[in-house]
Chain A
């Protein structure tokens, strides 16, 4: 039959990692090489086991591999107890902490996420992350099941994403990391790199990976940029951003790589210096003109700073290079939708459909676009599709959007029922609570409206609508206790004129007392 080693390699190349792993295990069973390598290094070892060992490690790594550049989530601990950024209050447009850039539509038109950041057209790790003011706020806001954030990214999340270290292996772990003699491995670069990736990605043991990388880079006389990037990754994961920055920069001096630039940019975003991140990407773009990942990264930073117009410009640049980039298409489409050009959004969303994307969110958006573009025949068809595809949590959004259509055609009863359905599917749907409250008010049930608004305000202190509604309601009833609501409304949306008017009135009133 075929040589098992060749077979394993072939499987590996065809990305059949599990089969490859099994084949390697068989080779290793016959000719064990496992932990002994540390001690046998000077002896003559037959070639195959060493290769099989390395291949097995690689196969295992590949199974759980996640691109470091994309995997980023800021936990509550990092965002609340952030001590790596220099400026606590920075000039608008220079910080990621709050979406201070004021280009693009206001919250009255484009709703905001929990962080007070405009809803993005594309959900990716990190877009949900706001930088809340106090720990209590941070802990209270994301209490719903759909918005929960990890406590800290240094421990929990990565284990969840790279689940390998949680899986139990019947024969014990493939490599016992705690028993390795790193200095011996470090001397053999071809094994050390494989081993590093295994420890870093598969075992998720950053501290040991760091030790190996530190020794290997020393062995390489600090001349191997790859090890420097790995060191940077380790420091990044550990939260030592300044050290990571130093390693990445040193690596870039030896060899400019897109990957390194992207990682360096992420470090700058983490220490809240978005402009520095953009500068880094720009330097990269000079070296690698029109590199797609650099363009996307730049667009994302602008997006996160709330500079929608600039972000859209960058996303367009991405599309010039790569017409099928889903993130860019979706982001641009969302921006057009919120800037009153639903016709263009329809075209972009249709393009996504052509590309084979077939999910609830897309049909949902298409439905809304069709409605606002007055293509009523398609509206309900799209929502039908969305409902048939949707699971519970997505269903709420679909019903909520249908309620908008109903309101638009003046069918208050349908709207009422849709909103009820939305709340049934997701009892934390704050927007639905708010709208339902308004409808209740129209029916004359003030008490119910008030209680709905209160629950909305409790669930989502970041949006302004329900605070404002609550305040107006109280004012019409002559209740001066609405001061706190109006303050919250102004805090969530400082430019909101109506809120400001009420606040002014109240202040005059209190002063005259």
Chain B
């Protein structure tokens, strides 16, 4: 059990994930949280400056900041390199404000049309000053302290978490981006250097130490990665509200702290994931930060709940002893358990061996005892079933006819919802073979962990075989002699590689029944399980053409091929008429929407000014006791307000449409960049950005097609 060293009750609600701490005067940390009515409060118990003059109020250690728009992200940190005071960055759905709390002034107030879902502050390797990086709908935007746009790139979906981690252990931070398409992408400058696919939207990322970082998913999973290798993960039925890392037991190794929606806080070892300490708050955890809140030179871990309860925990070396004691007890118990299991197993073997020496079993006895022939093995195979509904089937079979496969359990991440799948056919259809249909939802390589339960027919005791099989990345494409119509869209590029090497790549990444001819050239046709056709052509000069209407697939193929052939850079010509048409129509709607937005905004302010004056007049009438005039005034206010609400609805629909359109544009840019490898990828993104900034639509199309302006 964790005992807090201080607890506070703040009389304000705290919005989840909107907790940060900043030293706005350069010395005293102030807890800063988003609260109801689009406000942000700053808790400042230390600085005497707040009292004095006329400002002193009863509740003097809380000061309120108004944003006028609902706050969507908060972060405090150093931004101005010439100043050691922290800056508070507040993100809303349309704007980003960098605010100097100490001096009550803005550093900048920027329009961010893609919205701000997450903010992180710090240095990244490609820019030499600290940046505030805002993640919105598919975009990442970095500003320096003057509000200059210093960094811009796109990502696959809505950004749901951000962190700065020294992923490559080179002393410079890389930007980790978790998004709603389940990916964690690692940006070094503008390049994506690594990509990890998870099973749900990534809602939390936090640097632990070095290249190690913790993550949290929307389905209640938390875990730790070191670079792109996962150390551990656990799943809970509760929602993860916040993750943080802090060295609570003073052993020099930070632990992963998790705050849950049921108010639980648990502290896990970052290397094993085992729970070391836990505590419970009365309501859901809103955020976890660390700061020297008692001004004693040591940082405390500060946990906030949504009801405004704040608890601080201190690093304490004595905890280490408790953990050690616990650990030795645990070890003892584990060893005892293993011993028990081994003894049980040994007894089983003895029983099996014993009678064998004396006499053969009767078949009846064998069934009851669940004894299967010792030579039984299990085989798994992926086959493509070409019925009217083509699909992949996993065939699990034994090598003899005496036994039956009673049940198959498959564990595979991202393949099934809930990550596992159980097949147990009715008793009358049992055979030595089970066929499990598989529909891969995504084009990614998947490890299948298969448990097959094997027994003699009628037996109640089963032997469990554990095997693994590998589902290649592009298993959902079935090889055909030819497809009826070659898709119009295609990408083409040139490889300096022999054709057979590409042939090897194909065999590794597709399920092929036969070797495809690949001496001189490749001409492979596939139909996709999820619809659409794919044609892959390569001639002896190294010219490659991939025909598909699915731009994501083309990108995945190119990325996979590039990593297999270890290509650093690859420029690609893309021809996607459908996508370009769509882009064209989106761009024209965006232009229309933007001009309307301005007009609507002016109209609304005009209305709201009018309402204000009407309210004042009505109040004036009230104070003079002129009730009939007051009534008149308020009726007018009501009418005007109705107009205003209608105007708001129009404007909000307009804005929503704009956001969606912008998101689609960003997604198309991201997909186009995914078609390129290495420096061309980054180049495409920057050039597209410039084209959009300067409103040159034709240039945008050209960049997407040829990869450069």
Contact = CB atoms under 8 A, between A and B. Distances in A.
B49 interface: yes
B613 A151 contact: yes
Interface in B609-625: 609-610, 612-613, 615-617, 619-620, 623
A88 B602 contact: no
Interface in A242-290: 242-243, 245-246, 268, 272-276, 279
A240 B608 CA distance: 11
B616 A152 contact: yes
Contacts of A245: 109
A240 B105 contact: no
B54 interface: yes
A207 B615 contact: no
A102 B104 CA distance: 17
Interface stretch (B57-65, B345-353, B645-653, B662-670): B57-65
A19 B56 CA distance: 60
A310 to B, nearest CB: 15
Contact of B66 (A83, A140, A235): A83
Interface in A395-450: none
A81 B64 CA distance: 16
A139 B619 contact: yes
Nearest to B99: A86
B57 A240 contact: no
A136 B619 contact: yes
Contacts of B97: 86
B111 interface: yes
Interface string A187-219: 000000000000000000011001100100000
B620 A139 contact: yes
A384 interface: no
A89 interface: yes
A242 B104 contact: no
A152 B99 contact: no
B615 to A, nearest CB: 7
Nearest to B44: A91
Contacts of B608: 239
A6 B559 CA distance: 75
A209 B106 CA distance: 29
B605 A238 contact: yes
A238 B613 CA distance: 13
Interface stretch (A71-79, A311-319, A496-504): A71-79
A89 B68 CA distance: 16
Interface stretch (A55-63, A92-100, A348-356): A92-100
Contact of A207 (B57, B68, B606): B606
B342 to A, nearest CB: 67
Contacts of B606: 154, 206-207, 238
B57 A89 contact: yes
A243 B601 CA distance: 10
A136 B623 contact: yes
Given A100-B55, A139-B616, A276-B105, A240 B601 contact: yes
A155 B609 contact: yes
Interface residues of A, number: 56
Contacts of B57: 89
Contact of B623 (A85, A140, A210, A272): A140
Contacts, number: 137
Given A84-B68, A87-B63, A275-B103, A92 B55 contact: yes
B578 interface: no
B603 interface: yes
A102 B51 CA distance: 13
A206 B605 CA distance: 12
A109 interface: no
Contact of B54 (A100, A154, A246): A100
Given A81-B615, A91-B50, A272 B104 contact: yes
A135 interface: yes
A279 B623 CA distance: 42
Contacts of B66: 83, 85-88
Interface string B97-128: 10101111110010100000000000000000
A375 interface: no
A77 B55 contact: no
Interface in B42-95: 49-50, 52-57, 63-68, 95
A95 B66 CA distance: 14
Interface in A135-165: 135-136, 139-140, 151-152, 154-156
B605 A494 contact: no
A297 B562 CA distance: 62
A207 B603 CA distance: 8
B598 interface: yes
B49 A152 contact: no
B253 to A, nearest CB: 40
A88 B601 contact: no
B64 A77 contact: no
Nearest to A75: B613
Contacts of B619: 135-136, 139
Contact of A91 (B104, B109, B602, B613): B104
B566 interface: no
Interface in A92-131: 92-95, 98-102, 116
B109 A154 contact: no
Interface in B330-353: none
Nearest to B101: A87
B67 A152 contact: no
A276 B106 contact: yes
B11 interface: no
B477 to A, nearest CB: 48
Nearest to B56: A494
B378 to A, nearest CB: 67
Q: Which 6 A-B pairs have the closest CB atoms?
A: A94-B104, A276-B105, A77-B612, A92-B53, A154-B609, A152-B613
22 contacts: A77-B612, A81-B612, A85-B66, A89-B57, A89-B64, A90-B55, A91-B50, A98-B53, A100-B53, A151-B620, A155-B610, A210-B602, A235-B602, A239-B609, A246-B109, A268-B105, A273-B106, A275-B103, A275-B105, A276-B106, A279-B105, A494-B56
Interface of A: 75-78, 80-81, 83-95, 98-102, 116, 135-136, 139-140, 151-152, 154-156, 206-207, 210-211, 214, 234-235, 238-240, 242-243, 245-246, 268, 272-276, 279, 494
